[in-house]
């Protein structure tokens, strides 16, 4: 195998690929994604020290949905956020729970405050102030377009409060409950808020970054397994012929005669609830999806490699190896399969794109990733937001996915041009 790679490296195709500047740039983008994905994955290995963990991504960074790119929230949303924070802090004070659980991104209540009476008093004052301001605002039906209350004769009530300044005071009181952020911290906080949040207040930025790992995981696992299985079965079928060939062709004819989404849906149904359906384990979570996709995706490489092997089989060096008396498995592994490496690469790249795109469709239909972020789930969850004009989540997921898929499309085109120029389609 290693020899095959060396041969490949020296081949004309690699040089041709390297001369395609666009393709090299695209490869660079893919490497960048891979680095980010790899760093995120570190979170599973060294939780707390590096990478991003699932639990971190799930933490709300604000109690209410917020807009991306610093677009200000409506008055109603601002007041609601203040109300929820006040409620949480008050509960913690009353239950004597400590404040480690109240945390929005980097905003948190100073550690140790739970023990200090003066701090508790300070918080209680702030809670009272916040509740009082909230009550004052309740005389307005709609704070987004506040109409000053009127007296009986229709004239505006002179005692009525000023809405913008009251909301500002309310927010000020709430902000004082938390420890102040240093410059670096507030930069990080605004990064978390940069792409807005979903309705649970989770950071779209963090979710979209975490999803890179999920996408790469699905793409790599599915593409590698499919290509290896497809190559081996295809090469074996063509090389051995006879019943092996019949069996392999029967299998892929059968599987490919069923509409793929039905097959996938039925397979996911059959797999779900099995021991592999362990969503909470980052390594096992996607097994039903992998299995269902691999079942379908090995067919493509299998067909191509079978066709190629039929040609290779007739070539002199294979004939010669057979004549010398090498074992048939040896020839298959040593002389046939290594000569299909370029096809394996092209297929890998095509299947990688297919897998990523399919994950999105499956998740969208509720068959793929079920819990935890993925681009498909983000798009699915955003369907309820877009009708209210909130595009942050779907926008982020789409852009991040688009760039990766585009890069892969360019690379696989270049690969095809370089190694398999006669191929059509």
Partner 1 sequence: MMRRPRSSTTCSLLAGAVGLLVAMLALSPVAAQSTGEKFARLPIRSDGPKSLDPAKGSTSYDNQVVCQIYETLLQYKYLVRPDSVTSYEDVSEPLLLAEMPKVSDEADGKQVWKFKLRDDVFFHDDACFPGGKGRKLATDDVFYSWKRLADPKYEYENYWLLQDTILGLDEFKEKFATRQPSKSEPNPPPPPPFDYAAPVEGFRKLSDTEFEVILKKSVVRFGWVISMFQTSIVAREAVEKYGDTLGKHPVGTGPFILKNESDWKPGQNMILHRNPNYRTELYPSEATPKEKEQGLLASAGQKLPLLDRIELTFYTPDPVMWQDFQDRKIALVQVPAEYFEKAFVKRTKRLTKEYSDNGIQAEAVPLLDFIFRGFNMEDPILGGYDEKRTKIRQAISLAVDLDEHNDTFYNGINVVYDGPIPPPLDGFPKNGKAPNSFRGPNLRKARELLAEAGYPEGRGLPEIEYYTSKGSNQAEQTQAEIRQLARIGIRLNPKMVDFSELIEAINQKKAQMFGFAWGSDYPDPENNLALFYSRNKAPGANHYNYDRPEFDKLYEQIIVMKPGPERTSIIEQMRDMVIADVPFVGSMARTRFYLAHPFLKNFKPSEDFYNWFKYLDVDASAPR
Partner 2 sequence: MWSYVARRLLYSIPVYLGIILIMMGALRLRDPVSAYLGKNATAETALLKKASMGLDRPFLPIGIEDPAEPFGIEPIVEVGRVGFYPPLRTQYVEFLWRILRFDFGTAERPYRSWQFESDNVGAKLADAVWPTLKITIPALVLTATIAILVGLLSAAYRGSVLDKTLMVLVVLGMSISVVVFIVLGQVFGSSWLNGKLGFELFASNGYEPGIQNWVKYCALPVIIGVVVGMGYDARFYRAVMVEETSRDYITTAVAKGAPRHKIIFVHMLKNAMIPVITRIMITIPFLITGSIVMEYQFRIPGMGKLLIDAIVNKDFPIIQTFTAVLAGLFILTNILTDVLYALVDPRVRLA
Q: Please tell me the distance from the alpha carbon of residue 384 to that of residue 117, in angstroms, as a whole number.
A: 45
Residue span 260-299 as binding mask against partner 2, x where in contact by CB under 8 A, dash where not: -xx--xxx-xx--x--------------------------
Q: Please tell me the distance from the alpha carbon of residue 272 to that of residue 285, in angstroms, as a whole number.
A: 11
* Residue-wise DSSP of 95-139: HT--STT-EETTEEPPTTTTT-HHHHHHHHHHHHHHHHHHHHHTT
Query: In this structure, what token pair is assigned to residue 157?
Result: 């009530």
Residue 147 binding partner per list partner 2, partner 1, none, with a CB distance cut-off of 5 to 8 Å that depends on partner kind: partner 1
Q: Which residues bind partner 1 (CB under 8 A)?
A: 55, 58-59, 76, 79-80, 83-84, 87, 91, 95-98, 101, 138, 141-145, 147, 198-200, 269, 272-273, 277-281, 366, 370-372, 377, 381, 384, 387-388
Q: Which residues pair with 103 in a beta bridge?
A: 108
Pairing of strands 107-108, 103-104: antiparallel
Sign, CA torsion 405/411/413/416: negative
**104: enclosing H helix or E strand:** strand 103-104
Q: How many CB atoms lie within 10 A of CB 187?
A: 11
Contact between 174 and partner 2 by CB under 8 A: the answer reads no
Which of 354, 360, 369, 396: binder of partner 2 (CB under 8 A)? 360
Contact between 95 and partner 2 by CB under 8 A: the answer reads no
CB of 6 to partner 1, least distance (A): 46
**103: enclosing H helix or E strand:** strand 103-104
Contact between 351 and partner 2 by CB under 8 A: the answer reads no
Which of 138, 145, 165, 257: binder of partner 2 (CB under 8 A)? 257
Question: Could you say which residues in the range 227-256 bind partner 2, by CB under 8 A?
Answer: 250-251, 253-255
For residues 385 and 401, is the Cβ–Cβ distance under 8 A? no
CB of 7 to partner 1, least distance (A): 47
CB of 158 to partner 1, least distance (A): 22
Contact between 108 and partner 2 by CB under 8 A: the answer reads no
Contact between 405 and partner 2 by CB under 8 A: the answer reads yes
CB nearer partner 2, residue 304 or residue 332: 304
Q: Please tell me the distance from the alpha carbon of residue 64 to that of residue 152, in angstroms, as a whole number.
A: 37
CB of 231 to partner 1, least distance (A): 35
For residues 298 and 235, is the Cβ–Cβ distance under 8 A? no
For residues 7 and 13, is the Cβ–Cβ distance under 8 A? no
Question: In whole angstroms, how large is the CA radius of gyration of the chain?
Answer: 29
State the residues that interact with partner 2 by CB under 8 A.
Answer: 250-251, 253-255, 257-259, 261-262, 265-267, 269-270, 273, 357, 360-361, 364-365, 375-376, 379-380, 382-383, 386-387, 394, 398, 401-402, 405-406, 409-410, 413, 423-425
């Amino acid at each position: 195998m290693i020899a095959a790679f060396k041969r490949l490296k020296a081949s004309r195709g690699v040089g041709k690929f390297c001369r395609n500047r666009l393709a090299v740039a695209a490869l660079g983008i893919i490497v960048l994604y891979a680095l980010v994905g790899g760093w995120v994955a570190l979170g599973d290995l060294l939780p707390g020290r590096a990478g991003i963990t699932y639990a971190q991504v799930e933490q709300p960074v604000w109690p209410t949905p917020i807009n991306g790119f610093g677009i200000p929230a409506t008055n109603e949303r601002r007041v609601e956020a203040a109300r929820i924070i006040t409620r949480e802090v008050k509960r913690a004070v009353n239950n004597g729970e400590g404040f480690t659980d109240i945390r929005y991104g980097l905003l948190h209540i100073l550690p140790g405050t739970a023990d200090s009476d003066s701090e508790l008093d300070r918080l209680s004052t702030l809670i009272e102030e916040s509740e009082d301001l909230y009550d004052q605002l309740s005389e307005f039906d709609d704070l987004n377009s506040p109409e000053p209350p009127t007296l009986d004769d229709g004239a505006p009530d002179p005692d009525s409060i000023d809405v913008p300044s009251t909301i500002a005071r309310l927010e000020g009181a709430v902000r004082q409950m938390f420890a102040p952020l240093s410059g670096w911290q507030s930069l990080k906080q605004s990064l978390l808020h940069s792409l807005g949040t979903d309705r649970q207040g989770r950071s779209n930025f963090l979710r979209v970054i975490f999803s890179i790992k999920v996408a790469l995981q699905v793409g790599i696992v599915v593409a590698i397994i499919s290509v290896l299985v497809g190559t081996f079965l295809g090469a074996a079928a063509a090389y051995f012929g006879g019943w092996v060939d019949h069996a392999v062709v029967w299998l892929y004819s059968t599987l490919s005669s069923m509409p793929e989404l039905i097959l996938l849906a039925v397979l996911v149904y059959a797999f779900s609830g099995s021991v592999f359906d362990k969503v909470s384990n980052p390594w096992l979570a996607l097994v039903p999806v992998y299995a269902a996709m691999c079942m379908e995706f090995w067919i493509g490489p299998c067909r191509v490699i079978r066709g190629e092997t039929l040609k290779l089989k007739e070539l002199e060096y294979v004939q010669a190896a057979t004549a010398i008396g090498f074992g048939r498995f040896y020839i298959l592994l040593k002389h046939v399969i290594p000569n299909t490496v370029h096809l394996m690469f092209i297929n890998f790249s095509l299947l990688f794109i297919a897998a990523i795109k399919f994950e999105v469709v499956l998740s969208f239909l509720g068959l793929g990733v079920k819990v935890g972020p993925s681009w498909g789930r983000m798009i699915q969850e955003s369907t309820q937001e877009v009708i209210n004009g909130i595009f942050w989540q779907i926008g982020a997921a789409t852009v991040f996915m688009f760039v990766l898929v585009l890069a892969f499309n360019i690379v696989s085109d270049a690969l095809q041009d370089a190694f398999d120029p006669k191929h059509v389609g």
